[in-house]
Amino acid sequence: MGKHRILSPVRLLLLTLPLLCTAHAVAAQGLPAEPFVFGDGRVVVSGDVSMTTSCAHAQDAAACTKDTGFFNFSDYNDSTLRMLGAGLSASVRLGSKLTALGDLRLQNAHRPRPYGVYLRFRPFERRNFDIQGGRIPSTFGSFARRAYSADNPLIGYPLAYQYLTSLRDDALPRTVDDLFRMRGRGWLSSFPLGDQTPAAGMPLANAFRWDTGIQAHGAAGIVEAAASVTAGSLAHPIFHDNNSGKQLAARVSVKPVVGLVAGVSASRAPYVTSGSAAAAGAAANDFVQTAFGADVEYSRAHYLLRFETLSVAYDLATIEPRLRALATMVEGRYKLTPRIHVAARLDHLGFNTIASPTRTDAWEAPVTRWEVGGGYALQRNVNLRLSMQHNTRDGGRVRRMTALSAQLLYWF
Amino acid sequence: MALLAGVTGFTPAAALVASAARNGAIAGRVELRRPPSAAGRRPGVSDLGTPAMQPIAERQMSVVYLESAPRGAFEQTESDRAVMDQRNETFVPHVLAVTTGTTVDFPNSDRIYHNVFSLSKTRPFDLGRYPVGRSKSVRLDRPGIVRVFCDIHSHMSAFILVFGHPFFSVTDAAGRYRIDNVPPGTYTLVAWNEGVTSESRQVSVPDGGTAEVDFSLK
């Protein structure tokens, strides 16, 4: 019953009508189509706005509600399928070798957050080599480097970069059973050590925040590489260091032929606060997140294919063995006409099996997601998208959820 | 796009004298009172360095054309070809003016992919991604403005103005233009630039002479 109910033409119309009206108004207003440029080109300001709404149907729930399974939440309050997002990016050329960059983002009614504020220094004028310092873009993986809505062929995010596991930086499980109790409850997990207030867990890699530190980034021939030292971790980028540990991350990618990019990434960092580590009678360095990633992108003519996998391990001083997670995603996009594209993504997030005295199970509930959709370009920079997403989870209160989403996207 | 809607018409007055008289020319200069701003490139997360701006000179290019053309202007039978190159992540030239029936080639001279497309009602197309050394083309059969973009590089854009007659000219770096072989008569002359409002003037082309018309676009 559920799928048919949420896909009824009336619901589809109700979902998209407000966005269509807004899209028409946006298109008619002749809003800026190019970035603003000031000071003889020294200052460039660009921006984007996205309005996303959705109609979800989970098991045992009324049709057309919010995502009651919290499959798409990036924190306890915000679902990526019901979001008003806006962003401003600016670059200010301070000299021939120095540029200041900033990225301010607003989600729903929250305070605008500076995603990134950093300096880009180019020591050698003729070499493709930069040093960046401040709150910098992620070194790891491919998705975080294209996290803006315009680069995402669908509305939802890949699980690795958005789905909240039960692990937290400020609270720790004492036993394996503590972890089992939180399976499928990453949007609001609680553990006995550290901060015992229920709060959202962490994704494998956070696409919604940038870390603070320094990064070297260069390219020579077909090879591009980046390495960074930052204060937070892949799962929990931060502004102020909270454990005196540093994240080391690196990425190398090659472009052997035009249209093909293959990359590998690695990162290692303590991921819990000093306070929660102390509550467990250990040091923050006893809780380390180690991640390896591989990604491939191939495009030609009107299609684009992407594959990305992340293998992540967590050391917990309180639990044996190591916790592991493996995320694998494949997505494709095809342009049917100059205005219309279709896209699909298949995504899985799995976890290793551990044992308590009474139970043997995966430490988190595995999740599988597929999403199909498409977009219609009202203008080059005004896009209307529709998608259908289905999630299954082997654990938690809500184990299946299907959502129909619509998004209006404008950028300049 | 309505800008060029009238170019397929013709001027009866001009037609009356065209056959017996020697053709003249229209020449002059287009001045932009407010200089165009440089084309910005969206600050990119994975950029290396801070890319240079697109030359402002490209944006100063204007097109001057007859709004309605004399009889006989549509008798051209040969199909023409024109080239809009993709070089250093820029369309070259930034403004191209052609007659209907022209096939425009879009070679890729960069060592990266480009994806030329247009959503213009005049001629929507999407050439897909193709590498350096390859070229794809589009035939333009209807008069109008074709706005051209790259699907991969949002800072790449260009204009193709398609006319139903040959009486048009793209200005040079100094803003000068010249339209030759215009039959004597009175016409409406239009100056177009991407960033400003178009301006039109009445112009009388003398028998065998040159009419001088300057524009100052706001």
pLDDT over 70 (residue B41): yes
Given this model, what pLDDT does residue A28 score? Answer: 54
- List pLDDT tens digits, range B180-194: 999 999 999 999 999
- B49, part of any domain: no
Paired strand residues for A362: A353
Q: Are residues B177 and B153 both part of a single domain?
A: no
Q: Are residues B94 and B142 both part of a single domain?
A: yes
Of A66-75, A251-260, B61-70, give the range with the top mean pLDDT: A251-260
Q: Which residue has the higher pLDDT, A109 or B55?
A: A109
A278 touches A288 (CB < 8 A): no
Cα angle A155, A160, A166 (rounded to 5 degrees) comes to 115
Distances in whole angstroms, Cα of residue B176 to Cα of each of A114, A399, B64, B170 = 48, 70, 10, 8
Q: pLDDT category, A3, cuts 50, 70, 90?
A: very low
pLDDT over 70 (residue A288): yes
Name residues 264-303 of chain A within 8 A of B (Cβ): 299-302
For B133, the closest chain A residue by CA position comes to A258
CATH number at residue B100: 2.60.40.420
Residue partners of B45: CB distance under 8 A and separation at least 6: A116, A137, A145, A146, A147, A148
Q: Are residues B84 and B154 both part of a single domain?
A: yes
Q: Which residues of A touch B48 (CB under 8 A)?
A: 128-130, 217-219, 224
Given this model, what pLDDT does residue A401 score? Answer: 94
B136 touches B130 (CB < 8 A): yes
Inter-chain residue contact B48 with A128, CB threshold 8 Å: yes
Given this model, what pLDDT does residue B34 score? Answer: 82
Q: Which residues of A touch B149 (CB under 8 A)?
A: 380
Q: Which residues of A touch B37 (CB under 8 A)?
A: 37
Q: Which residues of A touch B49 (CB under 8 A)?
A: 120, 122, 128, 130
pLDDT over 70 (residue A349): yes
Distance from CA of A98 to the nearest CA of B (A): 9
Percent of chain A whose pLDDT exceeds 90:
77
Q: pLDDT category, A22, cuts 50, 70, 90?
A: low
A304 touches A274 (CB < 8 A): no
Distance from CA of A271 to the nearest CA of B (A): 24
Inter-chain residue contact B48 with A217, CB threshold 8 Å: yes
Instruction: Give the residue numbers in B contacting A (CB under 8 Å), as ranges.
Output: 37-43, 45-46, 48-50, 53, 111-113, 117-119, 124-126, 128-132, 147, 149, 151, 154-155, 157
Residue partners of B5: CB distance under 8 A and separation at least 6: B143, B144
- B143, part of any domain: yes
Facing B53 at nearest CB: one of A41, A148, A299? A41
- Cα–Cα distance measured from residue A19 to residue A372, given in angstroms and rounded to the nearest whole number: 19
Given this model, what pLDDT does residue A303 score? Answer: 96
- Cα–Cα distance measured from residue B169 to residue B172, given in angstroms and rounded to the nearest whole number: 9
Inter-chain residue contact B113 with A34, CB threshold 8 Å: no
pLDDT over 50 (residue B16): no
- B52, part of any domain: no
Q: Are residues B183 and B210 both part of a single domain?
A: yes
Q: Are residues B127 and B145 both part of a single domain?
A: yes
- B50, part of any domain: no
Paired strand residues for B137: B105
Q: Which residues of B touch A45 (CB under 8 A)?
A: 40
What domains lie within chain A, and their CATH numbers? 2-411 (2.40.160.10)
Q: Are residues B68 and B14 both part of a single domain?
A: yes
Distance from CA of B210 to the nearest CA of A (A): 38
Residue partners of B71: CB distance under 8 A and separation at least 6: B10, B11, B12, B14, B15, B18
Mean pLDDT of B43-51: 75
Q: Which residue has the higher pLDDT, A65 or A259?
A: A259
Distances in whole angstroms, Cα of residue A95 to Cα of each of A123, A126, B55, B181 = 12, 15, 19, 51
Does residue A256 have a cis bond before it (omega within 30 degrees)? no
Token pair, residue B177, equals 């233009």
A325 touches A350 (CB < 8 A): yes
* Averaged pLDDT of chain A: 91
Q: Are residues B67 and B98 both part of a single domain?
A: no
Mean pLDDT of B136-152: 96
pLDDT over 50 (residue A192): yes
Q: Are residues B90 and B148 both part of a single domain?
A: yes
Cα angle A103, A107, A110 (rounded to 5 degrees) comes to 105
- B213, part of any domain: yes
Q: Are residues B84 and B158 both part of a single domain?
A: yes
Q: Are residues B189 and B127 both part of a single domain?
A: no
CATH number at residue B70: 2.60.40.1120
Distance from CA of A42 to the nearest CA of B (A): 9
A233 touches A240 (CB < 8 A): no
Does residue B131 have a cis bond before it (omega within 30 degrees)? no
Q: Are residues B91 and B146 both part of a single domain?
A: yes
Residue B115 is part of which domain span? Answer: 79-162
Provide the ipTM: 0.84
Of A34-48, A144-158, A189-203, give the range with the top mean pLDDT: A189-203
pLDDT over 60 (residue A227): yes
- B152, part of any domain: yes
Q: Which residues of A touch B46 (CB under 8 A)?
A: 137, 145-146
Distance from CA of A232 to the nearest CA of B (A): 19
User: Would you give the distance in Å from CA A399 to the centre of its chain?
Assistant: 22
Mean pLDDT of A307-313: 98
User: Cα-atom radius of gyration of chain B, to the nearest Å?
Assistant: 19
- Cα–Cα distance measured from residue A361 to residue A129, given in angstroms and rounded to the nearest whole number: 47
- B45, part of any domain: no
For A89, the closest chain B residue by CA position comes to B43
Q: pLDDT category, A8, cuts 50, 70, 90?
A: low
Domain stops at, among B125, B140, B162:
B162
Facing B129 at nearest CB: one of A90, A137, A301? A301
To the nearest 10°, the Cα dihedral for A410, A411, B2, B8? Answer: -120
Distance from CA of A267 to the nearest CA of B (A): 18
Given this model, what pLDDT does residue B55 score? Answer: 67
Q: How many CB pairs under 8 A join A and B?
A: 97
- B51, part of any domain: no
Domain stops at, among B142, B162, B182:
B162
Which three-class secondary structure state does DSSP give residue B77?
A: coil
Facing A137 at nearest CB: one of B45, B111, B149? B45
What's the pTM? Answer: 0.89
pLDDT over 50 (residue A148): yes
Given this model, what pLDDT does residue A240 score? Answer: 87
Residue partners of B139: CB distance under 8 A and separation at least 6: B79, B101, B102, B103, B104
> How would you classify the pairing of strands B24-32 and B215-217?
parallel
Backbone angles phi, psi at A34, to 5 degrees: -130, 160
Domain count, chain B: 2
- List pLDDT tens digits, range A355-391: 999 999 999 999 999 999 999 999 999 999 999 999 9
Distance from CA of A203 to the nearest CA of B (A): 21
Name residues 350-379 of chain A within 8 A of B (Cβ): 377, 379
Backbone angles phi, psi at A156, to 5 degrees: -70, 170
Closest CA to A54 of A156, A148, A126, A184: A156
Q: Are residues B101 and B154 both part of a single domain?
A: yes
- Cα–Cα distance measured from residue A324 to residue A314, given in angstroms and rounded to the nearest whole number: 6
A411 touches A381 (CB < 8 A): yes
